[in-house]
Copies of this chain bind each other. A is one copy, B any other.
Amino acid sequence: MSFFSRRVCVIGSGLIGGSLALALKQVGAVADVMGCGRNSATLQRALELGIVDHYSTDIAEAVQGADMVVLSVPMLAMRDVLAQIEPVMQPGMIVTDVGSAKQSVIDDARAVLGDKLGQFVPAHPIAGTEKSGPDAAFAELFAQRRVIVTPLAENSEADVARVVAMWECVGAMVECMSAEHHDHVLAATSHLPHLLAFTLVDSLARMDESREVFRYAAGGFRDFTRIAASDPTMWRDIALANSFEISLILQQYQQELEDLQRDLQTRNAQALFARFSRAQTAREGIKL
């Protein structure tokens, strides 16, 4: 299905929103991109980079005339932004988001959109880098990446299809699932690893000899901790937005570390080997 929009309004001009705008322009799927955010300097930069064609710091003004509004703001800002959009939502306007947790933004939408709820189609492109801001945006970010759409019962099939088509036209592979399932899976594969990496780097940075510790860090450490350079506001919000699922999977991981600690202390060579060996086999089997 092809996609064309006469005006997309991107609220929040960071890596994801900016890259989507660039990608839609590159394939000729949008006539005009309106940027919106709280920081004029960032929006001005997005304009200079050709990400947006105009911008406004006023949400009600920015969404005027847009047939697709994309919320690319930290999770905890979603409710406030949705509340500001609601009074000016026209029939035919679709609002979608790119949030890394889905149940919380759906709760936000239910709380503030009233009978316009059906126009909100929740989505999450599983793409990104540890960088943030408009300068990090690039049109190819979504090529061959997965986007998960978690439709509401209130959504029309046509609106869901239009959001799917938007992501497909920038090269993504789109799948639909429930918000609950999305949050459960992403807690394991994305949210927990980010929190573990942040926690490790923070822990080592607070060691007395941290400077020296990092001095002897090599490639394995670099890869393992790359995601710890991610935006702290964005991740605070994801941690809170999906705290229930993250807490559950973290609990399971903490149990695994207790087993590991016990195996180290009892020098259980067989258990250590079995664990590492299972992990190696699983890791080599992952197509990433």
A residues near B (Cβ < 8 Å) are: 76, 126-130, 145-146, 148, 185-186, 188-190, 192-207, 209-210, 212-233, 235-236, 239-240, 243, 246-247, 250-254, 256-258, 260-261, 264-265, 267, 269, 272-273, 275-286, 288
Contact = CB atoms under 8 A, between A and B. Distances in A.
What 3 pairs across the A-B complex have the smallest Cβ distances?
Answer: A205-B282, A232-B276, A222-B288
A145 B279 contact: no
14 contacts: A146-B215, A186-B216, A189-B214, A189-B217, A199-B256, A200-B279, A202-B279, A217-B288, A219-B288, A230-B276, A232-B279, A236-B272, A236-B276, A239-B272
Given A239-B272, A240-B272, A283 B246 contact: no
A224 B221 contact: no
Contacts of A76: 269
Given A146-B216, A275-B199, A221 B189 contact: yes
A203 B145 contact: no
How many copies of this kind of chain does the complex include? 2
A286 B218 contact: no
